[in-house]
Structure 1
Amino acid sequence: MEAAVGQHGVNADAAPDSWQSRSDRMARLLLLPILAVATLLAVLAGPGSAHPWSAAVGGRTGTTVIVLAAAWSLGLSRYPVTGVRTAVRTLVFGVHAALAGVLVWANPWYGVFAISGYFFADELPPGRRRAGFALIAVVLAGSQTGGYPDAWNTHTLVFLLMAGFNLTMVLLMVGLTNRVMTQNTERGRMVEQLGEANRRLQASMAENAGLHAQLMVQAKEAGIVEERQRLAGEIHDTLAQGLTGIVAQLEAARQARHDEAEWSRHLDLAAGLARSNLTEARRSVRALRPEQLEQATLPEAIGALARGWSEHSAVPAEVETTGLPVPAGPDLEAALFRVAQEALSNIGKHARASKVHLTLTYLDDTLLLDVADDGVGFTPAAGAGTGGNGGGFGLAGMRRRLARFSGTLNLESAPGDGTIVNAAVPLRAAPAASPSPSPFPVRTPVRTEPTGATR
């Protein structure tokens, strides 16, 4: 009770609808009924029906004090529970304790009314509160022992013992109530903190959901852009190059129209390119993976690519593989194949080379592709593509393909000195290859000669 009321000045002011505030208002409203009950008990336990009721309540003095106590109790029904200064609280407690003390002196049954003094003592500051408890304990001791002592005798000793007992019990109850109220306050604070943490968590989750949705939109847009670039590269590497070859063969056939054998050969090459291009277009629609890699390894596919290119361009090409070939993954192998395809296409368009050399090198953690020609060369800073190609998808497409696998593309060229295209991609955790019977690196040179070409 002490802690509950000890915190009254803070808790009640801050939260007027708290349990403490409600109990204080209830105590004020019950003062008048308690006084009536105490008076009824005093009359019923009086000296008998032959005596007037005023004798039972202490005569004229008791009657006067009862009237004053009734008026006082009625006035306290409007006494506020918060916002009252300490001096006013002390005065109210003093008047109430004095009325209760006089009533107990008039008749011990008014101890029932005197108990209400504990409620007003609770509202005092800590130091005054204990003094108020002690005063009410003394008044109640008078009620419990049949009146106040008037001399030093056994009654006085019993009175003091009862006063001490009352004070001890009320302080114990105060301590218990204090502990319970403190725990309740802590629990309430923890509930508020948990509620605030929950609100912050919900706000954070809502914010994260918004960010997640935004990231998903960005990822979707980036995926669309990447897919468009990939499709552009596939179209450039398949349909565009095939159509370019068909046009070149048809132009050559037109120029050789007086030579029936040469004319037929160019038409046959154009028809073959058209059929191959149609097959590649259908396959690209299905999987967008080079057909040459469907049933062959990367070195074999690049060798077949070089032979086909050499046959169409009349430029001899040589393919060499060094190191121990290992599977590098279908997407990475497709990217390197497209780089080789684009490099050969650029050489055929711009380099005016007499020979080409492709080298595929397998290192422990890197796969290298070098495409070298002895053509006219160019200044790399001035040309966007191999062999000085100043436009088109070529070089940018090759770099984008390799960048998907953290790869790089470098050009080495100078006017009149040919061109070398260097592509490098890291090898990631590829499946282990079958052991080779030889501990030395494998060199598999593949030499291609164009049909009807001379070195």
Structure 2
Amino acid sequence: MVTVVPYTLLAGLAVLVVAAGFPVTELLPAAVWMVVLYRWREKPAFFAGLLAITAVMVLQNPLYGLFTPVPYIYAFTVLTWPWRLAGVGLTAVVAGLAQASAAPGMVVLQGVIIGVNVVMMVTTAWVLHTADVEREQRLAAMAKLEAALEENAGLHAQLLVQAREAGVLDERQRMAREIHDTLAQGLIGIITQLQAAEQRHEVPAAWRRPFDAVMGLARESLAEARRSVDALRPAHLETARLGEALETVSGRWSALHGIPVRFTATGTARPLAPAIEVALLRTAQEALANVAKHAGATRVGVTLSYLEEEVALDVRDDGKGFDLSAPRQEQTGGFGLGIMRQRVEGLSGSLRVESEPGGGTGVSACVPWRSA
């Protein structure tokens, strides 16, 4: 409407003028204005100059009333409200002058013709403006509705989170009761009996190392059980980063079971979310526990790797291994591998187990370090 139609009308009018025998030079001012100022065709000043040129043309020859659709186009598309109303009204006056020339000397009729043009075009401009306002109001209402829907979705997600937290809290309270009545009491009983035995009889030197190991393991297990129920981080992560905690856990496990453990950290260490640190530490502890129970290994390697997009934990041993294709292989050590997989996959990570009879076992956990 702004770049094609006006110039098409100008070209068509030029052909008509030539066919009617009028000098085409009378169209030259309008053509020069529209071509030279093409870049400014969407400026109000462009419309004002074009309307003035059109008025002069109409006064010279009423035939140029056929050119008035061009300023109409610019009035409707370029001018903003309420200037659009004035621009359309002035263009209607120019168009009415061209039409009124058909009734020379009849001033009243000419006034009526001009007035009808002005009323019709101004009314059209008003109706179109009203439609634009209503459309803008509908768009604004739709935007508000979309915002409300997004807010409702956010509230719904928040309610789901709260419901989940409430469920977790209920389950934690149930676990607390169960642990207090069973596991904690049993561990306390073990510790008490060991202390009583130590007070009644001196522990032989050959028994001292396993005796102390059992005592320390019972106390550590009791503390970790209480921390798990209270949703606290593992004690190893209270004052240390993940790499240091893994090295400490590996060293204690090695001292307890008499199996050498080599811990290695690669890559540039970066701060991790607590959930990732807890999941990887628990995975390492569970993997080492499985090595102690099932592997029959002579050495173990624990590797923590900080990669570009993820952090990886590998626990590998040189034990007897097992056949991964055997049915229900994951249940050999209870729920250990299943729990490890749930922890890691809950953080958008992956857990992979590699093993073969006589070839040792490797457990690899990879977690995106931005996942939590």
TM-score range, shorter chain: 0.5 to 0.7
Deviation at 1:292, TM superposition (A): 1.6
Going from structure 1 to structure 2, the CA distance change for 1:383 and 1:372 (only over 3 Å counts) comes to farther
Verify: 1:165 aligned to 2:165, yes or no: no
Deviation at 1:395, TM superposition (A): 1.6
Give the distance between the partners of 1:228 and 1:347, measured in 2 at CA: 34
Aligned to 2:350: 408
Give the total of aligned pairs: 260
In structure 1, the gaps of 5 or more residues are: 1-133, 135-159, 430-455
Aligned to 1:359: 302
Q: Render the CA deviation track for 1:188-245: whole Å, top value 9, x for unaligned.
A: 33344344444544544454444343333445456677899999999xxxx979979x
Aligned to 2:56: none
Counterpart pick for 2:317 among 354, 370, 373: 373
In structure 2, the gaps of 5 or more residues are: 1-99, 177-181
Structure number having the greater helix percentage:
2
Q: How does 1:327-366 map to 2 (within 5 A)?
A: 327-329=270-272, 331=274, 332-349=276-293, 351-362=294-305, 364-365=307-308
* TM score, norm. by length of structure 1: 0.45
Question: What secondary structure, in the 3-state scheme, does the structure 2 residue paired with 1:379 have?
Answer: coil
Deviation at 1:424, TM superposition (A): 3.0
Q: How does 1:34-433 map to 2 (within 5 A)?
A: 164-220=106-162, 261=204, 266-284=210-228, 288-312=232-256, 314-323=257-266, 326-329=269-272, 331=274, 332-349=276-293, 351-362=294-305, 364-365=307-308, 367-381=311-325, 382-383=327-328, 385=330, 388-389=332-333, 391-392=334-335, 394-426=336-368
Higher relative contact order (CA 8 A, sep 6+): 1
Contact between 1:233 and 1:397, CA under 8 Å: does it hold in 2?
A: no
Greater shift in the superposed pair: 217-226 or 395-404: 217-226
Q: Output the aligned Cα RMSD.
A: 4.9
The amino acid that maps onto 1:167 is L
Going from structure 1 to structure 2, the CA distance change for 1:278 and 1:363 (only over 3 Å counts) comes to closer
The amino acid that maps onto 2:116 is V
Question: What secondary structure, in the 3-state scheme, does the structure 1 residue paired with 2:111 have?
Answer: helix
Contact between 2:295 and 2:317, CA under 8 Å: does it hold in 1?
A: no
Question: What secondary structure, in the 3-state scheme, does the structure 1 residue paired with 2:340 have?
Answer: helix
Q: Render the CA deviation track for 1:267-302: whole Å, top value 9, x for unaligned.
A: 543332333234334544666222123333434322
The amino acid that maps onto 1:359 is V
Going from structure 1 to structure 2, the CA distance change for 1:301 and 1:190 (only over 3 Å counts) comes to closer
The amino acid that maps onto 2:303 is L
Going from structure 1 to structure 2, the CA distance change for 1:383 and 1:227 (only over 3 Å counts) comes to farther
Q: Render the CA deviation track for 1:309-329: whole Å, top value 9, x for unaligned.
A: 2344x3413123153562442
* TM score, norm. by length of structure 2: 0.53
Give the distance between the partners of 2:122 and 2:222, measured in 1 at CA: 87
Q: Render the CA deviation track for 1:345-392: whole Å, top value 9, x for unaligned.
A: 22233x151424123143552544322234342222434548x32x42
